[in-house]
Structure 1
């Protein structure tokens, strides 16, 4: 029996290239946050009052 690849097994080279290009453009434009900041926000998951990242960041930066 031949293996039929699932939807997550097939690569979409065009979509991958577009995603990488968007990521590089965001970084070049300064639209990123340090790992430490994102890790701090992730620690709020599953806790009461968790906020979406942008709201949490605004409250954190006062």
Structure 2
């Protein structure tokens, strides 16, 4: 087994709580991109006409 640590090996509860709070504030404020918009964007990767990154509200 490889003994080197990865970014997933350490936990920072304060950073995780802050990230959760930011995410919850975004949801409450409606700052979201729909799952369907993200799927369309990802499916366009590698095609002749890739879509632009979806924006909030898409």
How many aligned residue pairs are there?
A: 54
Name the structure where helix makes up a greater proportion of residues. Answer: 1
- Structure 1 residue ranges (4+ consecutive) displaced by more than 4 angstroms after TM superposition: none
Q: Which runs of 5+ in 1 are unaligned?
A: none
Q: TM-score, normalised by structure 1?
A: 0.64
Q: CA RMSD in A?
A: 2.4
Q: Which runs of 5+ in 2 are unaligned?
A: none
Q: TM-score, normalised by structure 2?
A: 0.68
Which structure carries more relative contact order (alpha carbon 8 Å, separation 6+)? 2
- Rg (Cα) greater in structure: 1
